Amino acid sequence: MPELPEVEVTRRGIAAPLAGAVVHTLRLGKPLRWPLGRAPASFAGLTIGDITRRGKYLWLPLTRGAVPEGGLLLHLGMSGSLGLHARAGEPGPHDHFDLVTDRGTLRLNDPRRFGAVVWSASLGDDPAATLLARLGPEPFDPELTPQRFHATLKQRRAPIKAVLLSGDAVVGAGNIYTCEALFQAAIHPALRADRISLPRADRLLAAVRQTLGRALALGGSTLRDFTDVHGASGAYQAEAAVYGREGQPCPRCGAPVKRRVMAQRSTYFCAICQKR
DNA sequence: AGTTAAACCTGGTTGC
DNA sequence: TGCAACCAGGTTTAAC
């Protein structure tokens, strides 16, 4: 499910309510992508700090009193969503993580279990440091200029669709928003990244930002699993121009939207509007 | 070195 | 109706 907008929608739903919350217990269900790691024996009495996001990861810092006591790095994988429940009932078959606090229970529901909850002593320590080190720049970082974006694309010969998905040039756009941004920038997904001119790279970066920003404003996309922390669905999927619309008319020229597998993912595009 | 498959899981949908 | 095949928002790891 979750690309950057969905993760950020989630973060915004839990950050304020949980800032300053005191943890009672941590409970784990079936194994997720990685084990929790070298976590404290007990989480009781730890206080939650300001929850932040990097790429599609959330960082939930913990303190004992004023002393930092590591934190939890969370990833929603393909099918994960977080809920904040005033009174959480018994965990269901896909509830694999509960953080019970004095402000409610933060619960991760993740049927496919590609998500992760790992403890780290800090963002600068492993495993968090290694996981985050692979990530490219944040899409809304003002230091990510069109020139810098273009320079990264110049180093890659793979199709632009694959390069965007890799997150090397900019993080946050997954399969949906990559398709949508390429459509908006009128760039063919199979075009080699190093063949993209600076003006087109400029347009593509603007399209990525616009697409992610619009999705964020609409509460993300809900294809199947994703809901925000209150259980509400996102609305962006109804606005998608090409994603999931194989055979339907391109909103710009009316030609049928094509679907092709690229970088192991279904890629939707208009073969007329999007130029190589 | 850089690009591309395989792997991790479960469940819903499609087609024979 | 039953069952196999295919598909799904991600990312690491192994293999060309």
pLDDT digits (tens, 9 = 90+) for A90-131: 999 999 999 999 999 999 999 999 999 999 999 999 999 999
Distances (CA, A) of A131 to A73, A124, A134, A152, A163: 10, 10, 6, 20, 18
- All structural domains of chain A: 4-132 (3.20.190.10), 146-269 (1.10.8.50)
Task: Give the confidence band of A143 by pLDDT, cuts at 50, 70, 90.
Answer: very high
| Token pair of A117 as six digits | 């909850």
Catalytic residues of A: 2-3, 56, 265
Alpha-carbon distance of A148 to A252, in angstroms, equals 30
Contact flag, residue A167 CB and nucleic strand C, below 7 A: yes
Contact flag, residue A120 CB and nucleic strand C, below 7 A: no
pLDDT digits (tens, 9 = 90+) for A39-69: 999 999 999 999 999 999 999 999 999 999 9
CA of A145 to C1' of B10 (A): 40
| Token pair of A97 as six digits | 């993580």
Contact A86, A107 (CB under 8 A): no
* Closest among A164, A214, A209, A224 to A190, alpha carbons compared: A164
Helices (H), A83-174: 128-133, 146-154, 160-166
* CB neighbour burial string for A162-177, b if at least 16 within 10 angstroms, e if fewer: bbbbbbbbbbbbbbbb
pTM to 2 decimal places: 0.95
List chain C nucleotides near protein: any atom < 7 Å from a Cβ: 7-12
Sheet of A23-28: strand order equals A23-28, A95-101, A104-109, A81-85
Nucleotide with minimal C1' distance from the CA of A167 is C11
Task: Give the confidence band of A231 by pLDDT, cuts at 50, 70, 90.
Answer: confident
Residue A1 is predicted with a pLDDT of 58
pLDDT digits (tens, 9 = 90+) for A155-197: 999 999 999 999 999 999 999 999 999 999 999 999 999 999 9
Q: Please name the amino acid found at residue A99.
A: L
